[in-house]
Amino acid sequence: MHKTPSGSTLGDGGLDLTQAFFKPISNAAAPSLTKRHTKISVIGAGNVGMAIAQTILTQDLADELVLVDAKPDKLRGEMLDLQHAAAFLPRTKIVADVDYAVTVRSDLCIVTAGARQIVGESRLNLLHRNVALFRNIIPPLAMYSPETILMIVSNPVDILTYVAWKLSGFPSNRVVGTGTNLDSSRFRFLIADHLDVNAQDVQAYIVGEHGDSSVALWSSISVGGVPVLSFLEKQQIAYEKETLESIHKAVIDSAYEVISLKGYTSWAIGYSAAALAKSILRDQRKIHPVSVLAKGFYGVDGGDVFLSLPAQLGRGGVLGVTNVHLTDEEEQRLRDSANTILDLQGQLGL
């Protein structure tokens, strides 16, 4: 398919516009080799993929943005729609194709392709419909960009991140799932809403599975640097455990509510994925709760399993996992969440 209508010539064999418009600088030095050309490929041009692409563009995270999808007409339409906004965006080359060769030498490949979640359907029930799809996606990405970092967005994200790791043959630090990064944002929003503060002042994590067995780390929540539960205890302010559980349940149910209302989720995951891309590509070394190879952390030792833990992200991908204090109950729930995922992974034969 036609990748982009842009070029430096006017028509086939036409006037070289670069030569006509610009007089070269004499004795100019070659561009510095330290200047990075950042290339991001987004696989899947559906609602989620395009929300991520749009956010990447507006936040100026890439010099080149590649879109890949199985539907050529839809793909070209999305590419043109973004290209036509060039006057309002930072300068980014936008390319689209059904051929994975277009992703060659990508710094980051973001995989969003997958079957759409049906209203009321658990994320885990999407597993068997998406594994076969990944067998056609991950190997060519790894072949054309052997040094890339894979970011998996497709659900069920934890198991599909494991599938991507297995199919790519990459070291585990270069395969990451968006995991509970968005769940944690929803969690922070709900806590901030209860306390009438800015969500950015709330430090709170959801870990484990991105789904029904996720774990809210209430023991480590702080607002403005103040540990919430210990503050309540010191002030002898009573609180009900059921109240805390209701907030966690609202986090779990929030995606289902959005899907039931508008048919899909897109904008929040778009911002979430772009935030992760920024941390990775700009080597910001920020802590994000993302899906990583969890074996050996927090007592998870039943097998190779990807689930969300607070991890430091940078140019090398996953740089490490934070030693957040967990209560015995939280650690047990995390292990239970890992076992939920492991039970399903055992059926994949990878």
Query: pLDDT (tens digit, 9 = 90+) per residue, 276-334?
Result: 999 999 999 999 999 999 998 988 887 899 999 999 999 999 999 998 888 899 999 99
Question: Among residues 2, 128, 194, 210, which one is catalytic?
Answer: 210
Instruction: Count CB-CB contacts under 10 A for residue 218.
Output: 19
Bridge partners (DSSP) of residue 64 are: 39, 93
Segments in 69-108 forming alpha helices (H): 72-83
Comparison of pLDDT for 254 and 234, the residue scoring more: 254
Q: What percent of the chain has pLDDT over 70?
A: 85
Taking 70 as the threshold, does the pLDDT of residue 182 lie above it? Answer: yes
C-alpha 212/C-alpha 18 separation (Å) is 56
The set of residues, in sequence order, having a beta carbon less than 8 Å from that of 332 and lying 6+ positions away, is none
pLDDT digits (tens, 9 = 90+) for 24-51: 666 666 666 666 799 999 999 999 999 9
The set of residues, in sequence order, having a beta carbon less than 8 Å from that of 68 and lying 6+ positions away, is 41, 42, 43, 44, 45, 75, 96, 97, 98, 99, 100, 102, 103
Nearest to 347 by CA among 187, 107, 163, 139: 163
Using CB atoms within 10 A of its CB, is residue 116 exposed (0-12), middle (13-18) or buried (19+)?
middle
Which pLDDT does position 197 carry in this prediction? Answer: 92
Nearest to 205 by CA among 226, 179, 238: 179
Q: What is the pTM assigned to this prediction?
A: 0.88
The dihedral region occupied by 204, where left means phi > 0, alpha psi between -120 and 50, and beta the remainder, is: beta
Which pLDDT does position 343 carry in this prediction? Answer: 86
pLDDT band of residue 104 (cuts 50, 70, 90) is: very high
Decide the pairing of beta strands 64-68 and 93-97: parallel
Nearest to 279 by CA among 320, 314, 309, 322: 314
176 is in an annotated binding site: no
Average pLDDT for 212-228: 85
Which pLDDT does position 146 carry in this prediction? Answer: 96
46 is in an annotated binding site: yes
The mean of the pLDDT values for the chain is 87
325 catalytic per annotation: no
44 is in an annotated binding site: yes
320 is in an annotated binding site: no
Give CA 334 to chain center in angstroms: 21
Using CB atoms within 10 A of its CB, is residue 273 exposed (0-12), middle (13-18) or buried (19+)?
buried
Q: Where are the domains of the chain?
A: 36-177, 180-348
316 is in an annotated binding site: no
| CATH 3.40.50.720 given to domain 36-177 | yes
Which pLDDT does position 33 carry in this prediction? Answer: 61
290 is in an annotated binding site: no
| CATH 3.40.50.10800 given to domain 180-348 | no
Phi–psi pair at 47, nearest 5 degrees = -60, -45
Average pLDDT for 171-185: 95
Which pLDDT does position 253 carry in this prediction? Answer: 86
196 is in an annotated binding site: no
69 is in an annotated binding site: yes
Which pLDDT does position 5 carry in this prediction? Answer: 46
